[in-house]
Amino acid sequence: MPAQLLDGVALSKKIRTEITARAAIVTAKGRRPGLAVIVVGDNPASAVYVRNKVKACEEVGFHSVLERYEAEMNEEALLARIATLNADPAIHGILVQLPLPAHIASERVLEAIAPQKDVDGFHVANAGALMVGAPEFKPCTPYGCMKLLESIEYPLRGARAVIVGASNIVGKPMAMLLLQAGATVTICNSKTRDLAHHTKDADVLVVATGKPKMITGDMVKSGSVVIDVGINRLPDGKLCGDVDFDTAKYIASWITPVPGGVGPMTITMLLMNTLEAAEKKIKY
């Protein structure tokens, strides 16, 4: 029997209904949640992601601002813009879409965002807080993956979790969240020897490599939960994940589809972080 789908669209809908209701409450108190999204350059994938983020804000009643800048924008100008948004009382969350053009130092930009407005959870202060188990904001994609696991009441305590991909955005924070939930966590990277040896041992397998269909069914443990973070566009225009869905679905017991799995959850948890930033009543 093929795996059951971990449906990120349905779960997002449920969580966004709650977000809409809570947003109406803070809005009535004069603190309508506000998100600023900055994109620099013309990366086509980024353009789609930021449009979806802003559209989602509108749907739940948030204030949102989308700022697009030319690829040539200099770092100082971007830092100055962030400083202004840090001081803007109508903005509770600031998101700078990655990747940034090569001439801009991403770390400097991410560190310039006020940690209380860092709804991506990428500032070192938030990354450190996550590491010691007291995160202000959890990075949206790993947070969304945890919500998917929670939705099926997956017993993470003592489970073997394997993450393929060790990025600051997904792999590393995902490891922290799974570890805190009591899983035994392995993080694989592009140099890992005998990757299949690790993935076949995973009760929960999270894949975030950006390599289309690299995890095939024969690399998956029977009865496991497979969470595919990848969103890749194939030459025929179709989207696919980092997992070969058509073979893995016969081995796993639960699997996320692409599209419609992790993608919508990332945006939903961005909305949740922005809502919570507004609810915290921080005065600027």
CB 160 within 8 A of CB 203: yes
C-beta of 106: minimal distance to ligand GUN in Å? 10
CB 248 within 8 A of CB 217: yes
CA 199, distance to chain mean position in Å, is: 22
Q: How far apart are CA 113 and CA 65, in angstroms?
A: 16
C-beta of 137: minimal distance to ligand GUN in Å? 11
Decide if 116 is catalytic: no
Residue 145's closest CA among 119, 176, 187, 186? Answer: 176
Task: Return residues touching ligand GUN (CB under 6 A).
Answer: 95-98, 120, 140-141, 169, 266
C-beta of 77: minimal distance to ligand GUN in Å? 18
Angle between helical axes of 171-180 and 140-151 (0-180°, round to 10): 40
Nearer to ligand GUN, 100 or 159 (CB): 100
From the candidates 116, 118, 120, 138, which is the catalytic residue? Answer: 120
Label residue 178 exposed, middle or buried (CB < 10 Å: 0-12, 13-18, 19+).
buried
Nearer to ligand GUN, 219 or 264 (CB): 264
Residues 145-173, buried b or exposed e (16+ Cβ, 10 A)? bbbbbebeebebeebbbbbbbbbbbbbbb
Nearer to ligand GUN, 121 or 257 (CB): 121
C-beta of 50: minimal distance to ligand GUN in Å? 9
Decide if 53 is catalytic: yes
Nearer to ligand GUN, 168 or 180 (CB): 168
C-beta of 192: minimal distance to ligand GUN in Å? 22
From the candidates 97, 117, 118, 242, which is the catalytic residue? Answer: 97
Q: Starting from the edge strand earliest in sequence, which strands make up the sheet with 34-40, in order?
A: 63-69, 34-40, 93-96
Query: Residue written as tokens 């053009």?
Result: 101
Residue at shortest CB range from ligand GUN: 98
Nearer to ligand GUN, 119 or 220 (CB): 119
Decide if 180 is catalytic: no
Query: Which residues are identified as catalytic?
Result: 53, 97, 120
